[in-house]
Chain A
Amino acid sequence: MIEVNELFVRFGGVVPIDRMTVTFPGGTCGLIGPNGAGKTTFFNVLSGFVRPLEGSVIAFGDDLLAMTDFRRARWGLRRTFQTEQAIVNLSVAENVLQVHEHTGGTRATRRQDVKDAIAFVGLDDDANNPVGTLGAGKRRLVEVARAVVGHPRVVMLDEPAAGLPDRETEQLASVIRRIPPETGALVILVDHDMSLVSGCCDTTAVLDFGRLIASGPTAEVLRNEHVIRAYLGTEEVV
């Protein structure tokens, strides 16, 4: 469980996160909202790239914001980025291995853990191929493999399906759905593809202008009139 309390972030005159209070109970949690709602900024706060002025983030009883940025990965915080970040100069196996060896994975199980993570996303046949030679869908899967290797506790996926064709999005969705039951990690999924969110997420939180406007079971949240208004605008505007 992650408890976010009164989180406040300001960049000069812009307030991307405005006293956000939300709880991610577990399983796969969706985080949606229009562009500029503060979703990526929230991930960056959790990663340690952005320092909030106020507020706290307690994950499984630990104060996440008190940890040095690179140590959070060792604690079990993993993420993917909007712009894909699988390391192009390394092979798929080396990509996954890199995360394992820098996040405190035990050496005895290293080979097996890396193999398992690659099998988890179904890239066994590409294990020794350089990431630079793979297509977009597979490169996304490499990032997911990097995020689940070892002992992840929180996996943040930032628009993992952006730009992917439907078939590859479905494949990705089936991988995402298996993360909580098979690794025990809590997944926070940010995406604009509502079918992906409703297909993967048990609960969903909605941000608008840096504030939480709704949260709860995904189906209920997506029917909420505030949410529909935030996404589609009010009738007068249309």
Chain B
Amino acid sequence: MDAAPTIAAGEEMALAAPAPAHARPSLAVTLRIVAVAVIFVFALVGIPAILDSYWLQIMMSVVIYAIVTLGLGVLIGRVGMVSLCQFVLLAIGAWVALRLEYLWSIPFPILILLAGLITSAIGVGIGLPALRLSGLYLALITLMAAGAITVLLRVAQFPNGGSGFYGNSRAGGASSRLSRPSIALKDVAYYRYCVIVAALMFLLALWHVRTKAGRAWAAIRQSRATAVSAGVNVTLYKLWAFALASFMAGVAGCLLAASSGGVNINQFPVQNSISLLAVVLMGGTFNLFGAVIAALFLRLLPALLDDWGVSPELLTILFGVGVLQVLLTAPGGLVDQVPKDLAKLGRKVAGALTPKAKRTAPTE
């Protein structure tokens, strides 16, 4: 990707009459910044403080999967491409990280970057032939690729210190775990490490959607003809989006390989790609925070159901109903719908209270 689109930061246009110096940013923007800060601090400090080690591990996996759902959300919401191979790319990220770690001991941050970049290259390899197709056909091709890679991974298994290219020895047990960075050996510290990496990925996504690439994607999403006649190299920017989503899956894979319990090849069945798509649609693809909601659905909800003694089979039905609900009533996803509904409810409650106050007034 040496022809990567040049993205200049800070090119967001604020063209309307240059704001006077004393003008404050709009209430909505301030609220959003405050909300993001509160969520970040709560994730970093609040969650480890209130949760025991079991639930902290669940939240750790929520944070890691939020990176995957973020990538897929950008792909679907911003570019309009549906990929069903993100789950397998997550496994590839884990595999690459483990393989490199057993080959050379690499500092963890560099390992994250390498796992992301190599997964990104593999993602582009899948995307290259698939990009001539769109919609259902692209989804189908990526699902087929995911199936094929899953078969290969099942044969290869995750590296666990064995010899040879695959680095797997049958005596090594079914799960492989990457050694954690020395600054984050304990679960709480590693959880925070994951939160920070995830936050960086959200910034990376935000930077993309706010700059040249994001505007090119918006043009492509509108229609191919619009994009081409406005000078957008459609193939390059589609590939770039695919590379970004794959990079994120690879980064998440590296983090996952070092999480509690490590990774196990049976953890990545192909059908999970479909669940992934369902939760991403439910969370909302246009707002980046939809990715967090999607990850909560994907990782926290099953654990909660399990805790309450409800069969996990129910999950498929819940996701089905959820997707139907979102597609029919909330194209922006739950991240968009819930605040709107809450505001509506607030107005209704306020509306119900005011007339009462008026009614009581004359009797005084």
Contacts and interface: CB of A to CB of B under 8 A. Distances in A.
Interface string B43-75: 000000000000000000000000000000000
A146 B16 CA distance: 17
Nearest to A79: B229
B219 A98 contact: yes
Contacts of B16: 93, 124-125, 127-128
Nearest to A125: B16
Contacts of B225: 47, 49, 81, 85
Interface stretch (A27-35, A67-75, A198-206): A67-75
Contacts of B218: 87, 89-90, 94, 98
A52 to B, nearest CB: 17
Interface stretch (A9-17, A111-119, A224-232): A111-119
Contacts of A70: 227-228, 231-234
B222 interface: yes
A218 interface: no
Nearest to A47: B229
A219 interface: no
Interface string B231-251: 111100000000000000000
A182 to B, nearest CB: 20
Contact of A88 (B13, B222, B231, B233): B222
Interface in B1-60: 8, 11, 13-16
Interface stretch (A18-26, A101-109, A161-169): A101-109
Residue picked from A47, A89, A128, most chain B C-beta under 10 Å: A89
Given A89-B218, A102-B216, A107-B8, A73 B13 contact: no
A114 B15 contact: yes
Contact of A102 (B14, B221, B232): B232
A98 B216 CA distance: 7
Interface residues of A, number: 39
B212 interface: yes
Contacts of B212: 101-102
B234 A90 contact: no
A91 interface: yes
Given A98-B219, A101-B215, A93 B228 contact: no
A98 B223 CA distance: 14
A140 interface: no
Contacts of B219: 87, 98
Nearest to A143: B226
Given A85-B222, A114-B13, A128-B14, A73 B231 contact: yes
A101 to B, nearest CB: 5
B185 interface: no
A99 interface: yes
Most chain B beta-carbon contacts within 10 A, residue among A77, A98, A104, A107: A98
Nearest to A81: B225
A45 interface: no
B184 interface: no
Contacts of A72: 229
B230 interface: yes
A103 B231 contact: yes
B292 to A, nearest CB: 21
B215 A98 contact: yes
Interface in A139-188: 146
Q: Which of A48, A72, A90 has the most CB of B within 10 A?
A: A90
B189 to A, nearest CB: 40
Contacts of A110: 11
Contacts of B229: 47, 72-73, 77-79, 81
B243 to A, nearest CB: 19
A118 B15 contact: yes
A97 B13 contact: yes
Contacts of B223: 85
A69 to B, nearest CB: 5
B226 A85 contact: yes
| Centre residue among B13, B219, B226 by max chain A CB count within 10 A | B13
Nearest to B217: A89
Given A49-B225, A81-B225, A81-B226, A99 B15 contact: no
Contacts of B286: 89
Contacts of B230: 73, 98-99, 102-103, 146
Contacts of B11: 97, 101, 110
A94 B15 CA distance: 10
Contact of A94 (B215, B221, B226, B234): B215
Interface of B: 8, 11, 13-16, 212, 215-216, 218-219, 221-223, 225-234, 286
Interface of A: 47-49, 69-74, 77-79, 81, 85, 87-91, 93-94, 97-99, 101-104, 107, 110-111, 114-115, 118, 124-125, 127-128, 146
22 contacts: A47-B225, A49-B225, A70-B228, A72-B229, A74-B231, A77-B229, A79-B229, A85-B222, A87-B226, A93-B13, A93-B15, A93-B16, A97-B11, A98-B230, A101-B11, A102-B230, A111-B13, A114-B13, A115-B15, A125-B16, A127-B16, A128-B16
Given A81-B225, A89-B221, A101-B212, 9 more contacts: A47-B228, A70-B234, A71-B231, A72-B229, A73-B230, A87-B222, A97-B13, A98-B218, A111-B15
10 nearest A-B pairs in the assembled complex, by CB-CB distance: A73-B231, A102-B231, A98-B215, A103-B231, A93-B13, A85-B226, A127-B15, A128-B16, A93-B15, A99-B230
